[in-house]
Every structure is written in structure tokens, then in C-alpha cells.
Structure 1
Amino acid sequence: MVLRKFSICILASLFLLSGCSGIKNIQDLTYIVTIGMDYDPDHDEYIVYLQGLNFLNVAKQETRPIEPIPTLVGSARGKTLNLAVSKLYKLSRPPLFFGHLKALVLSDKVIEYKFKEVLEDVGRNRSLRPNLLLFTTDQNIEEIFHTKGLFGYPPVYTVMLTEENIEANLNDIGPISLMSFLRMYYEPVGSAFIPRLSVNQNAWQTNAPNPVLLLDGYSLFQHSDYKGILPSKEAIIVDWLLDKRNQINYGIHIDDELAATFELTSQKMKVKMKKDGLRPEFILELKVEAELLEKVKEVPYEKVKASLEESIKKEVQKVYDIGIEKKVDLLNIGEKYYRFNGDEYRKLMNSDQFYLTRDSLKKINVSVSISHYNAYRFNKEER
């Protein structure tokens, strides 16, 4: 009886183990980590790029091969995205696997001609996760996919494949997930951003230029419509204002000369609204914590502090004015107006008028607190 029970246990164990026989080894699949999409309006065709991952190239340093392993990039055309990708399925052994897909890169032509169709296709595809990182570019996607990290590290070590908002950014904008973008894209007020990918050819060199990827501005959307591009400098300011964890290095010029540089951290921007007739009016209040990095010339403390506050105020006003020109609420200040004055907002929308004008922003109050001086000193009479 004991022998019979032992035999049954052995057979059951073998049966359970046989269920894993269909699992493929890591080297038996082609792992796709990024999809790029372009569009050819002349032929009405999509161009799809797939970036494959070779696990030998992401192993620990002591186990990596001496010879660098090239990045695998495939491309195909088709009248639909599925038809284009299916062509690469036929040409892929080991077969393609999309379970580790991390990023989606869209060309400006896709944004201009086919963006809403692509969003629908991506939303219907169960293989694409909502935490997929989203980027746009006006550069060659194949070149972007071949760009590696520093020291020959593979593309998984570039900004294209880093997680969304792991830590605070310094003088940079962060990546955004598909889910975070769609949350704002379909909102009736406020803007939605997609970071733009670019290749820098000259910043780093070995015995030849070492190209690196960077996030170089935003593609802008308002009311689910594409509104153009926000350059990198202004995009960094917007990101800094809307994400209190981010920091920027900022130089103050007094009498046309650099006087000091600071590292700035902003607290959450407060929006105060007052209603005047049909259109809203706003006051922005911004508290900034500053750390003195360099004191370049002797200037009284109060003058430095006042100049810093005035300079930040001008930066905020500039960003707001760019948004008005493009009919984009870059600072998302209209949310309170929509929430408490829905009827008035709908009247504006029915008249095809943007809910903000240059006169909507009545005042910007900036308060700077210099919390650290890094061994630099101001004389008592300067304070």
C-alpha cells in the first residue's frame, strides 16, 4: 500500500513537471523592448521599427563579451500597423516576444496624420501595457534605436528605456507613460505632453563621437488636438513648475553680468481664481527654495534675492504667453475654472474660443527662500 502511494506521488510529480515543457529558454526568443512608428503619406503606409534585446549585452560586466554586440533593429512597411509587424514575424527566428516592451516612439508624421488611429490601435492591443513609455521625434527612428548608452552599454541604459519619474530630474524633463499621457489627453482642460527624443552627436567622444539620447522638448496637445512643439528650455521650466521634486540650475544676471547661480526647487504652484464676467482671471503663487551654488560677483543680498524672484516671474510669464499663442494651457491653471464654472466653460467651448487670454493671468507672485549658501558669505550690511 505504501509502495502504491509512493508510485502515485512520483507519477503526479512527473505530470506537473511536464506542464513546464512548453516554456522557452531565454535564448529561444527575440525580446522586443521598443516599437517605433513612422508614416509615409505619399504611399499611405506605416513604417514599423522593432528594437530587439540581446541578453548577452545586458549581463554583468564580468560576464559580458569582449566584443560589443550590435543592437538588433527590424523594420517593415504595411497599410496597417498589424500588417507591418506581421511581416517581421515571418522573418524572425527566434520568434518575437513583446512581453518586455517598454517604450513606444512616434514620428512627427504619425502625430500629424495618424495619431488618433495609432492611439486606438495601441489601446486595443493587449500586448501593450499602459505603463509603456511614450516619445515623439523628428529624427530617424532607426538611428535612435541604434544609439547606445555610454561605454558601449546597450539602449536599455538610455533615457528611452528608463522608468517614469524614478527620481527628481535636474535640468531635464522626465519620461511619461502612456497611461499618464492619456489621463491628460482626454481632459477638457489642461495640456498633455509627450517628451521628444533627440540624438546628440558631440557631447561625448572616445576615439570617435559617442552619440547619446536626450529628451529635447515636448509635443503639445490640448482638447485631444496636436498643438505643436515646446522647445527644451521652456519644457524644463514647465516640468519644474508642475513637479515639485524637480530641480534646475539657474543663473542670475545683474547689469548684464552673471552675478550668481542657484539650484532651485519649487513647491506646488498655487492657482487662485476670481471670476470676472464670462472669462476667468488667475493669480499664480510660487514658493521657491534656492541653494547658492556660485557667487560670481559681489552684489547685495536683497538685490540678488529680488533679481532672482523677478527673473523667475519672467520665466513663468514667458511660458504662459507661449501657451496662449499656441492655445495650450501649459501650466494647467484652468482646472479650477472648469471644476467650479462648468456652464461658463461650455459656453466658451461652444463659441470656439480658448478659455484663456493674455489678460487671464493677472499676477504672478514669487517668493524665494535661500536655504543654503555653500560657504559663500554676504556681509551684514548686504543683508
Structure 2
Amino acid sequence: MHAAMRILALAIMVVVLTACWDQRSIQETSYVTSLGIDYDEKEELYSIYGTLITMSDVAKTEGASGKAFPSYIGHGKGESPQLALKALYRSTQLRPSLDHLMTIVVKENALTRIPDILDSFNRSRTVRYNISMAATTEPLDELLASDTFFNSPMYTFLYTRRVRGPAVPAVQMMNLQAFIRQFYEKSHTTLLPVLKLDRSSWKQGGKSKKYIYFDGAHAIVGQKQHEELGEPLVQGVKWFHSDQKGAFLEVRDDEGKFVAIFAVTTGKGRLTYNRHSGKDGAFKAVVSVKAYIYELHDKAVEVQLEAWAENGIREKLQQSLATGRARRIDLIGLEDELYRHHLAAWKKLKKTGIEVTSLPIDVVVDVKVTNSGKHKL
């Protein structure tokens, strides 16, 4: 009798443990892969745009049909980001999920609402800290519905964490964890890359295509103040914000005539502070670049080409620093260098009200050609 009861209890447990009463097929779930966030100051409402995919759609693109990947772009409004999402979800025919959210794009109008946006999504257990962050000035519905190459949903800068080659941006997209760390750091100026749409460079079957590219950045200072930085401005300071491997570097002579193109193999900026230089100290910005000759239009020795390249980088960096000084924007992390490694000097400047960007900066550039591309230059 006892043996029979034990067998019956064991059978019941086996049935319960192996039951699939709450099973849900992945084809029955719609996954939000990217979100666009805007804010209307007059209406005091958030706008949320979301890109949806289903696993069945992804499976179809892996076959031989060659059909284009369908884009589902939803839109909802609300007094908070979550209320806007709720409005978006109400007509979603399949159960929505943020488990595969990869990118959040913030419209420039919503940059002043970053604290509320972060609070909203940080409380969601499904939103991971490795999703990418970017800004845009484009209509969000057009940006999220931009074309992709070869009908693949992943062949777009919207989902590319690190861009390599000639298209490498001056400011790469950062993940949510890095953004939060910089945003709430009192000494840091956060640079968000700006995504725009190229509507004229590509066609398919005679029809124009819209593809995403990087163009400039938004500087966020003091958590609420933000400034738009054009592409020429961030090009001068790109060595401090982005791995430039594979980027093209234009080389011009002293008269400004184009003579060559270098392909960068390594390029980085380094910042140091000397508290004994001048009354309040001074900075030294060093840019080190290694590259090979990709294209040569005028004959010149390598030493001359290197000198011209150094002059071009130095001139752009000095122009960017001068613009940053005039607009009181720390473009290369001057204050962060002081705060982390020279705290006493940082406190002194804060106490006296001296702007860190007003301190002198000595710019040093070193360019080395590692390969001429031919046996003879």
C-alpha cells in the first residue's frame, strides 16, 4: 500500500514538472528591436516609436526567397515613456517584448528629458545595459524604417555597435551603461552621436534608398543642457572619442591642395595636465596616428606627407578646441582628467569659478607612415 502511494505521488510530480501549460511559441511574440523617443514641450507628451519583428519574419529572410524584410513601425503618446509604450502596445496584435531591444534613439527635443527616460527604462527588467544610445534630428518613423542592404534587418548602423572602415564616425554609439556613468558624472560632458538619413547616394531598381549615416554629435552638459555639434567640429576631436582604425585621412599641402589619402591603422588621443605650467596649470593634448598611403596624387617624400598630415590634424583640433572654449563645451574630457587625476586642482578651479576650457592646451601631433602601398613611393 505504501509502495503504491509513493509511486502515485511520484507519477503526479513527474506530470506536474513536465507540463507545458504556460508554453508560448516565439512566433507568437513580437520583439521590439529599436525605440525612438521624442518629447513635445507644448503638449507635455512623450512620443515613442518602436520597430517590431517576429521570429517567423527573421526565418523567412534566411531562405532563398530574397523578399525584403518587412518593417513594422508603431507610435504611441503618453505623459511618460511607459504610458507612451502602453498606447503603442494597445494595438499590437502579438504579445510585445523588450527582451531583444538593441538601440534607443533620442530626438533632440527629448534630450532635456533624459533623467525621466532613464528612470523609466532602468526599472524595466527586460532592458539590458548593453543596448546602444544615439541621438537624431530626423523624423523618428523614417529613421527606424530606413532601408537595409541585401534585405537583412541587421545590415544597418542602427544595430552596429562599432563601425569600422571609411564610414567610422567621429563619435561611436555608446551602450546604456556607459551613458549612465557619464551622464551622472559631474565632471563629464557626454557626447551622443547623431544619426541622419542619406536620401540621395543609393538606388535600387532605379528607386532611391534611405540609409543611415553618422553626422556630428550632441553634447550633454549638466544633465539637462545640450548643444548640437556639427560634423566638422567633432572631426577635430574624433581621436579622443572613437577608434579610427580604417578611417580615411585627407592630406593637403601648405596651400590647401589635396595630395593624398591615408588609411588609419591606429589613431588615438591622450590628455595630460601640468599643474606647474602657468598660474592655473595647462593641458597637453597628444594625437598619435599610424597609417598607410591609400592614394597619392602628388609626388612627395614620406616625411613631407607626414608633416602635412600632422598640420591638418593639429589645425582641425585647435579649431575645435577654440569653438568649444567659446561655447564652454569640454570636447576632449579636460575636466574629467582633472577630476580623476588632479582633484585638488579641480576643486581650486571650481572654487575660483575658472572654466576648465579656458586653460591653455598644447597640441602635439605625431603621424607615422607604415606602408607606402607600393615598392616605391
Query: What is the aligned partner in structure 2 of residue 212 from structure 1?
Result: 211
Q: CA deviation at 1:157?
A: 2.5
Query: What is the aligned partner in structure 2 of residue 172 from structure 1?
Result: 168
Amino acid at match of 2:152: Y
* Aligned-residue identity in percent: 19
Q: CA deviation at 1:97?
A: 1.2
Distance 1:322 1:169 in 2: 28
Q: Secondary structure of the residue that 2:203 maps to in structure 1?
A: coil
Q: CA deviation at 1:140?
A: 0.7
The alignment's TM-score, normalised by the length of structure 2, stands at 0.88
Summarize the alignment of residues 200-349 of structure 1 with structure 2, pairs less than 5 Å apart. Answer: 200-206=198-204, 207-244=206-243, 246-254=245-253, 255-275=255-275, 276=277, 279-349=280-350
Q: Secondary structure of the residue that 1:334 maps to in structure 2?
A: helix
Return 5+ residue gaps in structure 1 as ranges: 379-383
Q: CA deviation at 1:237?
A: 4.8
Whether the aligned pair in 2 keeps the contact of 1:227 and 1:327 (CA below 8 Å) is no
Query: What is the aligned partner in structure 2 of residue 78 from structure 1?
Result: 78
Q: Secondary structure of the residue that 2:92 maps to in structure 1?
A: coil
Distance 2:266 2:320 in 1: 16
Amino acid at match of 2:133: L
Q: Secondary structure of the residue that 1:251 maps to in structure 2?
A: strand
Structure 1 residue 14 corresponds to structure 2 residue 15: yes
Distance 2:64 2:11 in 1: 40
Q: Secondary structure of the residue that 2:318 maps to in structure 1?
A: helix
Whether the aligned pair in 2 keeps the contact of 1:57 and 1:153 (CA below 8 Å) is no
Q: CA deviation at 1:251?
A: 1.8
Amino acid at match of 1:72: Y
Q: CA deviation at 1:376?
A: 5.6
Q: 1:169 to 1:221 in 2, by over 3 A?
A: farther
Deviation larger for 227-236 or 102-111: 227-236
Whether the aligned pair in 2 keeps the contact of 1:279 and 1:355 (CA below 8 Å) is no
Deviation larger for 21-30 or 83-92: 83-92
Query: What is the aligned partner in structure 2 of residue 161 from structure 1?
Result: 159
Deviation larger for 198-207 or 303-312: 303-312
Structure 1 residue 149 corresponds to structure 2 residue 148: yes
Structure 1 residue 100 corresponds to structure 2 residue 106: no
Q: 1:318 to 1:21 in 2, by over 3 A?
A: farther
Partner deviation per Cα, 1:83-127 (whole Å, 9 max, x = no partner): 222223322221211111111111111114x22222222223333
Amino acid at match of 1:160: L
Whether the aligned pair in 1 keeps the contact of 2:130 and 2:176 (CA below 8 Å) is yes
Distance 2:279 2:119 in 1: 36
Distance 1:355 1:256 in 2: 32
Distance 2:252 2:102 in 1: 42
Whether the aligned pair in 2 keeps the contact of 1:252 and 1:260 (CA below 8 Å) is yes
Whether the aligned pair in 2 keeps the contact of 1:240 and 1:266 (CA below 8 Å) is no
Distance 2:242 2:322 in 1: 20
Return 5+ residue gaps in structure 2 as ranges: none
Distance 2:8 2:68 in 1: 52
Whether the aligned pair in 2 keeps the contact of 1:57 and 1:68 (CA below 8 Å) is no
Distance 1:93 1:171 in 2: 38
Partner deviation per Cα, 1:291-343 (whole Å, 9 max, x = no partner): 01112112233322221221121122122223222322211233332234424
Distance 1:67 1:339 in 2: 53
Whether the aligned pair in 2 keeps the contact of 1:107 and 1:137 (CA below 8 Å) is yes
Q: 1:150 to 1:36 in 2, by over 3 A?
A: same
Whether the aligned pair in 2 keeps the contact of 1:240 and 1:248 (CA below 8 Å) is no
Query: What is the aligned partner in structure 2 of residue 197 from structure 1?
Result: 195
Distance 2:238 2:281 in 1: 24
Q: Secondary structure of the residue that 1:371 maps to in structure 2?
A: strand
Q: 1:128 to 1:248 in 2, by over 3 A?
A: same
Query: What is the aligned partner in structure 2 of residue 381 from structure 1?
Result: none
Q: Secondary structure of the residue that 1:279 maps to in structure 2?
A: coil
Q: Secondary structure of the residue that 1:50 maps to in structure 2?
A: strand
Q: CA deviation at 1:272?
A: 3.1
Partner deviation per Cα, 1:137-191 (whole Å, 9 max, x = no partner): 111101112113113333x3311122x33x7454422321111112222223242
Summarize the alignment of residues 55-70 of structure 1 with structure 2, pairs less than 5 Å apart. Answer: 55-59=55-59, 61=61, 63=63, 65=65, 67-70=67-70
Distance 2:63 2:302 in 1: 55
